[in-house]
Amino acid sequence: MILLGIETSCDETAAAFVDDTRRILAERVLPQAKVHQPFGGVVPEIAARAHLQHIDRLVNAAMRRAGLSLADIDGVAATGGPGLIGGLIVGVMTAKAIAAVHNVPFLAINHLEGHALTARLTHDLPFPYLLLLVSGGHCQLLVTEGVGRYYRLGTTLDDSAGEAFDKVAKMLGLGYPGGPVIEKCALNGDPRRFTLPRPMKGRAGCDFSFSGLKTAVRLTLQRLESRTPQTIADLAAAFQAAVTDVLIDRTREAVKIFRTGWPEGSALVVSGGVAANQFLRKKLTVLTRAENLLFIAPPLRLCTDNAVMIAWAGVERFRLGRYDRLDFKPRPRWPLDPLASQRENISLL
């Protein structure tokens, strides 16, 4: 079984071919970071136009690399949400056209499910497992019970960790995207020079909050008499340490719940763009060793947005016969656990 995957949810245009034996036959990714750098973040209209301009070429390039034709595929999967609606429309419509012309199933994939199932592609991991999903748009702790079955333990109350990295990098004058530039800058910094808050740390539950931390960085910058390269490096290191401390604390709380509710589970998976951060990975490695859990982090190229994970999620859903109709509408919001908000509201009563 061979599936084509298409990813256009944000600022990466990507296409990949994956088969059901976990082979990545070919992949092509066109990052748009340079296009958006002058604006300090993703401009939706510019992103959508870039997707439209390049998606056909990337599909053809991946197809040539794999030595395939569209007549060889068994289905086509595209990110159906969540994400920027303009980009989603480009990917979904491209996938629908291919599916219709070649009479193969179309599969609309939740972008978050793509991240969630990547560990099953790379490590053949059985269900259930605990997932820390940290990216530019999302920050959640979930139990992955099965394909299409997710139980959310916690989410951000305001900003995602990835968004906080982007905004702080802009404050520090480091550029975009924020995660890689802050990590690089922090290598030369002293995280102990500045004292920053750890929002939500030590509280019950598994929710996150990062807006207050961003404000603390801004106020610290305003109090500085001068902004030397060393000062910026120290502040970058302090910010990275604060975010990581919060993520570790919240994940530790999630592990307690996971142990009780899903005792057969044995792994913690980290995924999403922020999962590429090596400082965070080291801290998560220490945590999982202490908790006697298997720690799985996909290869760096599969942490950021990519079409391989979309194609693989398509394989997982294809096996179960979960196809989508060609009248599927892209969804800018699409929670993995739609019942989570209802449970949280009930718990407050």
Regions of the chain short of the pLDDT cut 50: 348-349
Q: How many CB atoms lie within 10 A of CB 65?
A: 15
- The torsion angle over the Cα atoms of residues 339, 340, 346 and 349, rounded to 10 degrees, is -150
pLDDT at 344: 66
Set out the domains of the chain in order of their start, with CATH numbers.
2-116+305-348 (3.30.420.40), 127-300 (3.30.420.40)
Q: What is the pLDDT of residues 57-103, one digit of tens each?
A: 999 999 999 999 999 999 999 999 999 999 999 999 999 999 999 99
pLDDT at 341: 74
**pTM summary value:** 0.94
Which residues lie closer than 8 Å to 135 by C-beta, 6 or more apart? 115, 160, 161, 162, 272, 273, 274, 275, 305
pLDDT at 37: 82
